[in-house]
Amino acid sequence: MTPISVKFAVFSMAAALVAASVSAPAAAQTAAERWEEARSYYAEGDFEAALPGAIAAVQQAPAAPEYYLGAARILFQMERYDEAVFYYDIYIQHFGPILPADTPERNRLTRAREERTTANNSRTTPSSAVPEPAGQGEARAALVARIAEGIAITPTGGGALAIYDALLRTGYARPDLLTLRSELRACILEEASLFVAVNRAAMPALSIEEWEVQRTRMQRYVDLAPEPLPTASGQPREVANAGLGLAMLELAQGQLRYLNQDFTAAAERFGAALTAQPDFLPAHVGRLNALFSAERGLTSEAHQALAAFQTLAEATATDPEIGLLASIYEAAFVAQSGDRDEAITLIEAMLAY
């Protein structure tokens, strides 16, 4: 980008369009909360009401053994013996070798095997293979294929995200959901990165509709992050790319507010993006654009935003024009504050660049 085009990009603020108001999604229940809800229903003998919570807990936290055993016990009480054995087998075969020594007595392998034997003997044909729940294999195969194609969201709703949601609706609740979710999140982030260049000091020229899709992508990316499991030290494991994912979500939130001419809220969202990912260049540009559009001049907030961007510009040797862009923003804010002479001095220095 030439110095002239950079200056034009800064000083010619496009007419803002009116967007639908952006509201924060309601907080979803955690896996532990869904599990406790299921346990309460189970204790009351309401197994029909208990099952959805147990399955949802598995889907949200596929690495938690107790949830599988709980699902098996609920299904046994419902006399759905094939499905009960299915989940007993997951608990025994997948988690049995790694159950901790302090596993409660009620969840020990010995007891689980006894319950599994009782459930199996209650089946119509105990010697037959345990059938896979209907429709789940086909849905999983469709999801894997869509992820491999790298398509997270399509205009017609046939992307990997829609297929993943359909898979969950079949009741799919297995340990490989951890892997499927990880692959799905990678697909979402790769697709989102086609629209937002993380290391480019420019705001993508997307329509409101495109920004809304981007927000949906990144909200799902954040939501699909695995619930942190404690390590041996007691601290949760860090989720890969958590900072970048949150930063890209906040960028979309901020730009939607900017296009709706809510510049104060936009600046806050861009600031939140930088809290998550301090070197996220589009968020720096977005925050400076929002503060400039608010027409308050070189306030302390604008000064801090400029300083942060200039510091990053000095550290970014790969793109020297980022430093020029930082100077242009500074001149724009100074001029907006009414110090025309200082602004002219800054512009003259840039023209000599």
Which tens digits make up the pLDDT trace of 218-266? 999 999 987 654 444 444 344 456 789 999 999 999 999 999 999 999 9
Q: Give residue-wise pLDDT tens across range 95-128.
A: 999 999 999 999 999 999 999 999 999 999 998 9
Lookup: tokens for 221? 């990316």
Task: Please give the biggest Cα pair distance in the chain.
Answer: 91
**Binning pLDDT at 50, 70 and 90, where does residue 15 land?**
very low
Q: Is residue 10 part of a domain?
A: no
14 pLDDT higher than 60: no
DSSP state of 24: P
Task: Give the Å distances, CA to CA, from 260 to 205, 253, 257, 265, 335.
Answer: 15, 11, 5, 10, 25
At residue 2 the predicted structure's pLDDT band, cuts being 50, 70 and 90, is very low
Q: Is residue 178 included in any domain, yes or no?
A: no
Query: Does the residue 158 lie in any domain?
Result: no
Domain-located, residue 278: yes
- Name the β-bridge partners of 236: 230
Q: What is the pLDDT of residue 342?
A: 66
In a domain, 107, yes or no: yes
Structure tokens at 205: 């020229």
Q: What is the DSSP string of 82-106?
A: HHHHHHHHIIIIIIGGG--TT--GG
Residue bearing tokens 């894997």: 144
CATH (domain of 306):
1.25.40.10
* Last residue in a domain, options 75, 104, 129: 129
pLDDT tens per residue across span 299-344: 889 889 988 988 887 776 556 677 777 778 877 777 777 777 666 6
Identify the bridge partners of residue 230 per DSSP, sorted by sequence position: 236
**Alpha-carbon gap, residue 222 to 250, rounded angstroms:** 11
Which tokens go with 334? 């100074």
Length of the chain: 353
Q: What is the pLDDT of residues 128-183, one digit of tens each?
A: 998 888 889 999 999 999 999 999 998 777 899 999 999 999 999 999 999 999 99
320 in any annotated domain = yes
Output the six-digit token pair for 41. 């229903």
Bridge partners, residue 128, by sequence: none
pLDDT for 22: 30
> Could you tell me where the DSSP H helices lie in 232-280?
242-259, 263-276
Question: What's the structural domain count of the chain?
Answer: 2
User: Which pLDDT value is given to residue 16?
Assistant: 25
pLDDT attached to residue 310: 84
For residue 296 the two structure tokens come to 């308050």
* Contact (CB, 8 A) for 172 and 252: no
Of 17 and 30, the one with more pLDDT: 30
Which of 89, 106, 129 is a domain's end point? Answer: 129
Token representation of residue 98: 């790694």
Please check whether residue 154 lies inside any domain of the structure: no
CB count in 10 Å sphere of residue 351: 10
**pLDDT, position 332:** 79
This prediction's pTM? 0.80
* 15, 73, 82, 88, 117 from 92: Cα distances, Å: 62, 13, 15, 6, 12
Q: How are the residues of the chain apportioned to helix, strand and coil, as percentages rounded to the nearest 5? A: 65, 0, 35
How far apart are alpha carbons 206 and 281 in whole angstroms? 17
- Of 91, 112, 129, which marks where a domain is finished? 129
**Which contiguous run of DSSP H or E holds residue 322?**
helix 321-336
Return the structure tokens found at 255: 């730009």
Which pLDDT score, from 0 to 100, does residue 132 have? 85
**Nearest-angstrom CA–CA distance, 110 and 99:** 12
* Residue 309 placed within a domain: yes
Per the prediction, the chain carries an average pLDDT of 84
Residues 71 and 94: their CA atoms lie apart, in Å, by 15
pLDDT at residue number 352: 53
Per-residue pLDDT at 17 exceeds 60: no
Task: Give the separation between CA 204 and CA 211, rounded to whole angstroms.
Answer: 9
Q: Print the domain residue range for 79.
A: 31-129
